[in-house]
């Protein structure tokens, strides 16, 4: 009974829990406007290697047929009203934004081109699923193994989507953004301090062998490499401190981590809305080189030219109903209660497809997730 209440509580808390790192990318375009994007978009790393005709990025045959039949019969296919883009945030220490980096942030953005409505769904990075090559692991393993192409393939395969474009940023873009804005005011809890400082060290420090758990250890000099947080309560955090705060996973759980991310986002958005044009211009110069995207300059400019009409109307987390447990070699994962039902709920939330029926491919994935869940979590 208590477990049921806990799951219901988590579901309520997931409303508008939007992952921070890549959403900052969207917010910047909305606020900066078309002139600045056109002037500065050459600073963004354009990914011209991604082949949008690649079979890996194509939707399954059943979904393709469903869309074609809707068009032939004049039936409304609501997904076609939206541009759907994959947004990734990676923990890269060397500026590389391609494969080899796990995507700590995975967001699906649905943009209604007619109304300007933007909906966001965060796919939890530890979601147990088909990672695009018929193996099952945490969702963030797809980006690490095959970069954005495999990560997009994973999303298309598992969620019945037709995504072709993406954007990726790293944590250091967020650090720069917050520093340029002059920091953010955050109410830090006592139990968060130790972990906040440890994450600062891991981002600002140098590698120093392995710790007792076999993980890479880092060392950093307080007051030089980073500024330790020494007290609880409301205080101004700089970029490194605020980003470290966002990454805390050991106080509460991964869902509570998204609460911290939303708090930082809200504070950063307030600061950005009051920032001068020169400050925003500095932000572009510093942040855009840390962005990698398949979107062209013309596409970015087109979105920015309509910035005033866009508004984020809601956000959710996928899977909607889940448990957490150890799934064999995949380790601790977020496991859907009913994967196919979650995909149906995704299409209802994102596109308003109330009567959506997941394809046979998704049903196969759902059956595999259920079988593995029974195998590993029933013990």
pLDDT of residue 325: 93
| Domain spanning 2-171+283-377: CATH 3.30.420.590 | yes
C-beta separation of 152 from 133 below 8 A: no
C-beta separation of 19 from 107 below 8 A: yes
Residue 7 has pLDDT above 50, yes or no: no
**What is the average pLDDT across 17-44?**
43
pLDDT of residue 30: 39
Q: How many percent of the chain have pLDDT more than 90?
A: 34
Sign of the torsion formed by the C-alpha atoms of 267, 268, 269 and 273: positive
CA separation for the pair 41, 360 (Å, rounded): 41
**What is the average pLDDT across 147-169?**
90
Pinpoint the residues of the chain covered by CATH 3.40.630.190. 182-274
Is the pLDDT higher at 209 or at 281?
Answer: 209
Residue 182 has pLDDT above 80, yes or no: yes
pLDDT of residue 129: 97
- Fold (topology level) of 182-274: Aminopeptidase (3.40.630)
With cut-offs at 50, 70 and 90, classify the pLDDT of residue 174.
confident
pLDDT in tens, 102-123: 777 788 888 887 888 888 888 9
**What is the average pLDDT across 181-206?**
93
Which pTM was predicted?
A: 0.75
**What is the average pLDDT across 356-365?**
94
C-beta separation of 285 from 313 below 8 A: no
Pinpoint the residues of the chain covered by CATH 3.30.420.590. 2-171+283-377
pLDDT of residue 226: 96
Q: Are strands 117-123 and 311-318 parallel, antiparallel or unpaired?
A: parallel
Place of tokens 């309520």: 12
* Interhelix angle 254-273/171-180, nearest 10 degrees: 40
CA separation for the pair 28, 284 (Å, rounded): 8
Is the pLDDT higher at 246 or at 7?
Answer: 246
**What is the average pLDDT across 43-59?**
55
Query: Which of 108-122, 238-252, 348-362 bottoms out in mean pLDDT, i.e. has the lowest?
Result: 108-122
pLDDT in tens, 290-344: 778 887 766 766 665 665 676 667 778 899 999 999 999 999 999 999 999 999 9
């Amino acid at each position: 009974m208590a477990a049921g209440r806990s799951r219901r509580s988590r579901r309520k808390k997931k409303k508008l829990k939007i992952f921070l790192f890549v959403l900052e990318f969207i917010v910047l375009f909305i606020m900066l406007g078309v002139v600045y994007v056109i002037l500065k978009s050459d600073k963004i790393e354009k990914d011209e290697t991604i082949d949008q005709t690649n079979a890996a990025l194509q939707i399954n045959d059943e979904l393709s047929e469903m869309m074609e039949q809707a068009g032939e019969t004049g039936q409304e296919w609501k997904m076609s009203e939206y541009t759907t883009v994959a947004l990734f945030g990676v923990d890269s220490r060397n500026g590389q934004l391609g494969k080899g980096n796990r995507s700590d942030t995975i967001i699906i953005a649905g943009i209604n081109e007619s109304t300007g409505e933007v909906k966001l769904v965060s796919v939890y990075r530890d979601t147990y699923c088909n990672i695009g090559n018929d193996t099952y692991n945490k969702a963030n393993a797809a980006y690490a193994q095959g970069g954005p192409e495999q990560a997009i393939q994973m999303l298309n395969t598992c969620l019945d989507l037709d995504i072709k474009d993406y954007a990726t940023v790293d944590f250091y873009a967020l650090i720069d953004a917050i520093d340029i804005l002059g920091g953010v005011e955050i109410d830090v809890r006592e139990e968060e301090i130790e972990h906040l400082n440890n994450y600062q060290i891991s981002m600002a420090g140098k590698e120093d062998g392995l710790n007792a758990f076999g993980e890479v250890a880092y060392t950093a000099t307080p007051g030089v490499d980073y500024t330790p947080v020494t007290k609880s309560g409301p205080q101004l955090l700089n970029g490194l401190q605020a980003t470290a705060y966002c990454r805390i996973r050991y106080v509460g759980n991964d869902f509570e981590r998204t609460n911290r991310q939303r708090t930082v986002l809200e504070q950063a958005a307030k600061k950005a809305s009051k920032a001068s044009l020169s400050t925003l211009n500095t932000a572009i110069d510093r942040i855009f080189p840390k962005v990698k995207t398949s979107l062209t300059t013309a596409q970015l400019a087109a979105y920015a030219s309509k910035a005033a009409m866009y508004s984020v109307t809601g956000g959710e987390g996928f899977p909607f109903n889940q448990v957490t447990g150890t799934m064999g070699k995949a380790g601790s994962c977020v496991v859907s209660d009913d994967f196919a039902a979650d995909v149906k709920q995704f299409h209802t939330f994102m596109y308003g497809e109330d009567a959506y029926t997941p394809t046979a491919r998704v049903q196969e994935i759902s059956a595999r997730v259920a079988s593995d869940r029974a195998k590993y979590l029933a013990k």
